[in-house]
Chains A and B, each alone.
Chain A
Amino acid sequence: MMDLSVVKKYLREYNASDIHIMEVCGSHTAAIRKLGIQSLLSEHIHLISGPGCPVCVTASSYIDKLLQLARAGKCVVTFGDLIRVMGSTSSLSIEKGRGARVEIVYSPFELVKMAKSEPNTQFIFAAIGFETTTPIYALLLEQLITENIQNVQFLTALKTMPPVIEHLCSLSAPIDGFLAPGHVSVITGSDIFLPIAKRYHLPFGVSGFLGEELLVAIYGIVKAKDKGCVMNFYPTVVQAKGNQKAQECVQKYFVKTDAAWRGMGIISDSGLKIREEYNIYDAGSADLIEDKKSNQACRCDEVLMGKISPIQCPLYKKVCNPLNPQGACMVSSEGSCHAYYTNG
């Protein structure tokens, strides 16, 4: 394995033309901030946070629909991250304070026990996520069907990475390489980024989440500037073709659809929805495309696309902070603005 001190020295002393590397994984955003990675890099290497946080890219109309279901007496079950995200006027946290039933779980499979123990309650799972999480929803759906559990539905806002990455590249955003999402790649395989890499002559480095792994991946991307290639720096869990069993499970229950990315509009075929034949398990996910900014001056959309850094947003720290978030990037602990604010 590479001597880390050699890697660190190279990155610290890099003096060639400026290079912009985008990461598209909320956990990478958090890890980079927590480890203070930027402080180890030369001023010519810029890390940009892209649309890698599924909470951040969920349109406000999705939240509004979820709140509508909560107010109608359904029990909304969710991962913790979604609870404080504002829709156009309210959030799950606020509705919970007003008496709505909102349950936070570690795993969607906890729904099975909940649904069986309360057959008269209608449960709605807030099914957001990228390719890492979708196979889990597919497996859960399979279990619900097999065991004929009828009081669970999903409200989905499932998205896939390659279309949004392609979209960013097509905008000619100033990006010289991508830190490819580590756990998405576990499912999809690293080969999925090859067509984009070759088309735009960009290096992709699939990275894990430890300091050493991130530094080596950044090193590889810098070294491979202008080469259209995909480098797998996370071979312990990422293979070229990914987890094919998981991919087949997803294909069985989900189909491609257009999806709305908060601040970016609709990107065609960038989402997944439950197949028609299993529609009874869908809580009304279609057409949730409207996205209302709660503050018109909010520039989350430009932050998500890597066009500006959080500190360039006029609201950052002046109006917008974790106590008073104006946009999704500040609400989610993996959002770029939140990460900047809490970790400097």
Chain B
Amino acid sequence: MSKNYVTMAHGSGGLETEKLIDEVFATAFGNEYLSQMEDSTIVCGSHKIALTTDSFVVTPTEFPGGDIGRLCICGTVNDLLMRGAMPKYLTCGFIIEEGASIDSLKTIAQSMGETAREANVLIVAGDTKVVNGKGDIYINTTGVGFIDKEQEELGARRCEQGDCIIVSGKLGEHHAAILSSRMNIENHIQSDCAPLNQMVVALLEEKIQIHAMRDVTRGGLATILKELAVASNKNFIICEDSLPVSDTIKDFCGLLGLDPLYMGNEGKMVAIVSKNHAQRAVEIIQSSSYGHDAAIIGHIENGDGKLLMETSIGGLRNLEVLTGEGLPRIC
């Protein structure tokens, strides 16, 4: 890896991204809020509010199952939900390269409107810049959500021995949908891009003992769980046979030498729930939109930040965060 140039691996959500954030941004403007490295940050005001920001640079801007418009709302909404905050307001900033079609912009804006309505959020501020280029479109959304002052904060620090690890559905679908068109592989894989309001609200209303939630985005489930294991200083143990993965995704990965554990989603979450509430939590998620394939995939033990998986053959595999871009390999 070059020390002086940004490479694509810096954008993968894995080890290189972490290093870039650490060395460039945290060094320059780190603080106690940023250093928690949760999906959004809780600060005080007259209510407790959660804040988050995300930028969206996916190409192509339209893909099976969604587009960058739907993605930029879901990504930020879900980051707020993962801290137990109710998303309320979003801002959006556009950087548009000269040559982008107005019709494309209209389609994207339409998607944003529909998804915002579905997620019960209002877009209350925005900005647009146009630069030289070849017609690409980039969007940043920043989101504000509110948290009940009495609610205990969710986060890695709350994970305990005996907690169950739940995933809300099938792995790898967003990443596979994007990659399929690039690699000339035809299938019916759709991005799972979706706002998770319904399942999170249902879990909180029933006072399920959730300790932490994370959405399973770039870097994949293994990266997210490993980060949680390290941040909580616990061992996370999962079972390969419990992982919800479609046969189509399995073979897609088999063709390209990829691993579903490291493929990103955009409409799935991991919930760390106390043992006694885990089964009920799964039922709640399964009866919500986008949660039909939810499953308990493992549990937490006291330890030192390992992520271990019992494989389908009964072996034990140690998992680390994603390194590199997760490019298809052949040889």
A residues near B, CB below 8 A?
8, 26-27, 30, 33-40, 53-55, 79-81, 83-84, 90, 93-94, 96-98, 104, 106, 110, 128-130, 133, 211-212, 215, 322-324, 333-334, 341-344
A209 to chain B, nearest CB (A): 9
Which B residues from 289 to 331 make CB contacts under 8 A with A? 309-320, 323-324, 327-331
Near A by CB (< 8 A), chain B positions 153-191 give 183-185
Cβ–Cβ contact B323 & A36, under 8 A: no
Q: Give Cα distance in the complex from A97 to B5, angstroms.
A: 7
The reply to whether B328 and A106 form a contact with Cβ atoms under 8 Å apart is yes
Q: Is B6 an interface residue, CB under 8 A from the partner?
A: yes
Instruction: Tell whether, in the assembled complex, residue A35 and residue B315 are in contact, meaning their CB atoms are under 8 Å apart.
Output: yes
Check if B320 sits within 8 Å of A35, measured CB to CB: no
Other A-B contacts than A34-B317, A106-B184, 13 sampled, CB-CB below 8 A, are: A33-B317, A36-B317, A79-B328, A81-B327, A93-B8, A94-B7, A96-B7, A106-B185, A106-B256, A212-B313, A323-B323, A324-B1, A334-B329
* Cβ A40 vs Cβ B313 within 8 A: yes
The answer to whether B184 and A342 touch across the interface, beta carbons within 8 angstroms, is: no
Cross-chain contact B327 with A36 (CB below 8 angstroms): no
Chain B residues whose CB sits within 8 angstroms of the CB of A133 once the complex forms: 330-331
CB within 8 A of B317: which of A106, A322, A341, A343?
A343
Say how far A107's CB is from chain B's closest CB, in angstroms.
Answer: 8
Residues of B within 8 A of A106 (CB): 183-185, 255-256, 328, 330
Q: Are B313 and A342 in contact, CB atoms less than 8 angstroms apart?
A: no
How many chain B residues touch A (CB < 8 A): the figure is 36
A-side contacts of B318, CB under 8 Å = 343-344
When distances are taken between beta carbons in the complex, the residues of chain A under 8 Å from B5 are: 94, 97-98
* Residue of B with least CB distance to A136: B330
Minimum CB–CB distance from A105 to chain B (whole Å) comes to 8
Task: Tell me, rounded to whole Å, the shortest Cβ–Cβ distance linking A95 to chain B.
Answer: 10
How far, in angstroms, from A54 to B5 measured CA to CA in the complex? 27
Contact A35 B311 (CB under 8 A): yes
Pick from B8, B16, B331 the residue with the most CB of A within 10 Å.
Answer: B331
* Best-buried of B5, B16, B310, B317 by chain A (most CB within 10 Å): B317
Is the pair B316, A36 in contact by a Cβ cutoff of 8 Å? yes
Please name all residues of chain A whose beta carbon is closer than 8 Å to the beta carbon of B185 when the two chains form the complex. Answer: 106
Known: A322-B15, A322-B324, A323-B19. A344 touches B317 (CB 8 A): yes
Partner of A211, one of B256, B311, B316, B324: B311
Q: Which residues of A contact B9 (CB under 8 A)?
A: 84, 93
Considering only CB atoms, which chain A residue lies closest to B256 in the complex? A106
Q: Does B35 contact A (CB under 8 A)?
A: no
Check B311–A36 contact: CB distance below 8 A.
yes
Q: Is the beta-carbon distance between A93 and B7 smaller than 8 angstroms?
A: yes
13 sampled A-B residue pairs with Cβ under 8 A: A39-B316, A40-B315, A79-B331, A80-B330, A81-B329, A97-B6, A128-B331, A133-B330, A212-B313, A215-B313, A323-B15, A333-B329, A341-B320
